[in-house]
Amino acid sequence: MLSMKSTVLKPTADRRHEIVRAALRIIGERGFTSLTTATLAAEVGVTTGALFRHFASLDEILIETVRYGVVKIEETFPGPALPPTERLLALARKRVRLLGDDPGLVWLLRSEQAYLALPPKAVRLLRDVVRRSRTFLLGTLRDGAADGSIRDDIEPELLLVPVVATIHAVIGPRSAQRRASRDSPPEPERVLLILARLLEPPGAGSPRREFKPPGQLLV
């Protein structure tokens, strides 16, 4: 029996957004293979027929779900006015905030399975935002090497590898990490500040620069 909320007629845009968010919850909490039209309809509180009044197919729902995730990721790119190191940290901090408690988005944006399971159009959207992220980070490292704020004794293309690995290490469903281990994972801010120190040019003078905490730097 459907809940009372299924009887409420919502604007198409609101219902589509609700369906996308429900798809992300199912993927994040139960895994991608649990996402079916039946489980999705039950999660939203509508009939399967109602789903297809808003989307033509499950593939279209998946494409829109990826598009939603890509838009959210696009919002994490900081502007070019920040100094290079702070620009890089701002990106990482915003992604921690976005992805830290949304395992469905993490799956979409970081799982290799997503590239195998999603429709081709959705995969192209994912690849595009991954390329933009890489281009942004590489450009930031080059800017820092050019102005002397980031070490230039390691090629930016090589320095990008530990930078990406560190950012990936601090984003993700932290509650799941805590359940999997007795020890809490390191606080993201501490890890990012260590990354900032590793990016400093060799022999950078002391005292080290103090970076603003997320609450001051992020909007």
> Residues 27, 118: one domain?
no
> Residues 32, 89: one domain?
no
Q: How far apart are CA 8 and CA 128, in angstroms?
A: 37
> Residues 86, 150: one domain?
yes
The CATH number linked to 139 is: 1.10.357.10
**Does residue 9 have a pLDDT over 70?**
no
The answer to pTM > 0.85 is no
Could you report the per-residue pLDDT of 91-101, keeping only the tens digit for each?
Answer: 999 998 898 87
Establish if 71 belongs to a structural domain.
no
Q: How far apart are CA 34 and CA 22, in angstroms?
A: 12
Phi-psi region of 31 (alpha: psi -120 to 50; beta: other; left: phi over 0): left
pLDDT at 109: 83
Burial class (CB in 10 A: 0-12, 13-18, 19+), 37: middle
The residue segments making up the domain with residue 25 are 4-55
> Residues 46, 85: one domain?
no
Q: How far apart are CA 193 and CA 89, in angstroms?
A: 8
- Find where tokens 């990406």 sit: 164
pLDDT at 3: 43
Establish if 49 belongs to a structural domain.
yes
Max CA separation in the chain (angstroms): 68
Could you report the per-residue pLDDT of 22-81, keeping only the tens digit for each?
Answer: 999 999 999 999 999 999 999 999 999 999 999 999 999 999 999 999 999 999 999 999
pLDDT at 13: 85
> Residues 114, 172: one domain?
yes
- What's the structural domain count of the chain? 2
> Residues 22, 87: one domain?
no
The CATH number linked to 8 is: 1.10.10.60
Establish if 14 belongs to a structural domain.
yes
pLDDT at 100: 81
> Residues 42, 88: one domain?
no
**Does residue 168 have a pLDDT over 50?**
yes
Could you report the per-residue pLDDT of 112-165, keeping only the tens digit for each?
Answer: 899 999 999 999 999 999 999 999 999 999 999 999 999 999 999 999 999 999
Establish if 198 belongs to a structural domain.
yes
Establish if 8 belongs to a structural domain.
yes
Could you report the per-residue pLDDT of 189-219, keeping only the tens digit for each?
Answer: 889 999 999 999 987 654 444 444 444 333 2
pLDDT at 178: 43
Q: How far apart are CA 87 and CA 26, in angstroms?
A: 33
